[in-house]
Structures are given as C-alpha cells and as structure tokens.
Amino acid sequence: QAPTSAPGARLSRLPLARVKALVKADPDVTLAGQEAIFILARAAELFVETIAKDAYCCAQQGKRKTLQRRDLDNAIEAVDEFAFLEGTLD
C-alpha cells in the first residue's frame, strides 16, 4: 500500500470485502485480484462523489441544502456522462 497523508487513513472508503462480494456475484467473473478490487472501489467512490456534487448543484439552484431524488434526476439529465443512468431511478 502507498503511504497516506494521515496516519491510519484508509485508501478506500468503501469496504473492499463488500466490493469483492459484489464482483464475485457476477457469473462472468472468475478471478479478481486485490488490485482490481481496489480500483473498482476507488472508481465507485469517484463516481458517487461526482454525481453527488452535480446533484448538490441542482439542489443549490433550488435554494436547498438537502439532496432530493429530483436533484439526482436533474443531474442525470443535465450531464451527458450520466446519460446511461436515465430511467434507472424509475
């Protein structure tokens, strides 16, 4: 593991055991190395962070600080990179 800025800080916020269990639930996956699990966890964290920031911007436009489902819907509609998510919250 690479050194971190704070002692005891975790490199991943998501539990790697849970990510590994989700990966193993896919019947097409036969082997998944620890590095791959870490990269998938980190990618999921970055994705959640990005969509949450965009949804928060939508909430701020409505002069609110609390995210609502409609903020996620608006973020999905507004950002082209989230087009693959359209209809998933229905």
Read off the tokens for 26.
Answer: 């896919």
Whole-number pLDDT of residue 12: 76
Whole-number pLDDT of residue 45: 95
Q: What is the domain partition of the chain in residue ranges?
A: 16-85
DSSP string of 47-71, one letter each residue: HHHHHHHHHHHHHHHTT-SS--HHH
Domain 16-85 matching CATH 1.10.20.10: the answer reads yes
Cβ(59)–Cβ(67) below 8 Å: yes
The whole-number mean pLDDT for each consecutive block of 10 residues of the chain, a chain of 90 residues, reads 53 89 93 93 95 95 93 93 87
CA–CA distance, 4 with 24 (Å, rounded to integer)? 28
CA–CA distance, 90 with 42 (Å, rounded to integer)? 27
Read off the tokens for 21.
Answer: 């269990």
